[in-house]
Amino acid sequence: MDSTKKLTFYKYQGTGNDFVLIDNRMGIFPKENTQLVNSLCDRRFGIGADGLILLEDDDQLDFNMVYYNADGNQSSMCGNGGRCIVAFAKKLDIITDKAVFNAVDGVHHASVQDNQVTLEMIDVDTIRQTDKFQYLNTGSPHHVQLVTDIEDLDVDKEGAKIRYGMYGEEGSNINFVRKLEEDTFKVRTYERGVEGETLSCGTGVTAVALAMHNAKLANGSSIGIATSGGELNVSFDYTDGRYSKIQLTGPAIFVFKGEIAW
């Protein structure tokens, strides 16, 4: 008799930032098994993803989001993952067009229309600015640095150098940015936990938009960000040094559903 367990999963992507989504409302997933998470995210021996997300019941809200980096460790907030789990919740008929859910950085509100998901991010009132970079937390820590050679930049090499050299073992995500036109920027991101470049990073895109506005390189309150995986928009209110009502908008696409032995 075959005793192999089968795990049902869903694959989603948001501007190329891809995730394994699991309905864990019955509590079946072994949440402390970092090796399992890592193997499921492996692109050669598993499903392949930048991260894994569990959708769980919440006593008061629509659902709870538990996010793991591809290395298997639970991590800080993931913006694109947050948008994808909203689309997932709609597919499971947990929500219709609006959601309120809990994540590691607190409560998030979101809305979904067709394949577009808008996610409200946490408020930001502290941005560290130097001559070479800015540093802020948009649910995850982000280093934002302007570069001129963004297309040819070795993001894995240069990102790792800053991630470990400046921020130590705990690290930070590293964003390299070039201005394209008024209120529009190109970004490439090195993500900690993935330990390499991803096609898009939601909290990184949010950090870039706020940092560019803070540096007066963007004038508007709606900023377009081009990533290697597609385009996202960040809008916000700004009053007395505080960014609030921060909205991250972009596509969240269902790719496929499957089963895998575990």
Collapsing DSSP to helix, strand or coil, 148 comes out as: coil
Residue positions annotated with a catalytic role: 78, 201
Mean per-residue pLDDT, 195-208: 98
pLDDT for residue 31 is more than 50: yes
pLDDT tens column, 73-117: 999 999 999 999 999 999 999 999 999 999 999 999 999 999 999
* Segment 108-162, tens digit of pLDDT: 999 999 999 999 999 999 999 999 999 999 999 999 999 999 999 999 999 999 9
Question: Looking at the domain covering 6-113+252-261, what would its CATH class be?
Answer: alpha beta
- The phi and psi torsions of 111 (rounded to 5 degrees) equal -140, 155
What's the angle, vertex CA 17, arms to CA 15 and CA 23, rounded to 5? Answer: 115
Task: Name which residue leads in pLDDT, 192 or 169.
Answer: 192
Spatial CA neighbour of 30 closest among 4, 7, 61: 7
Do 178 and 185 contact (CB within 8 A), yes or no?
Answer: yes
- Name the architecture of domain 128-251: Roll (3.10)
Q: Say if 6-113+252-261 and 128-251 have the same CATH topology.
A: yes
Query: Is residue 262 very low, low, confident or very high in pLDDT (cuts 50, 70, 90)?
Result: confident
Spell out the domain ranges in the chain.
6-113+252-261, 128-251
pTM for this structure? 0.95
Residues 232-254, mean pLDDT to the nearest whole number: 98
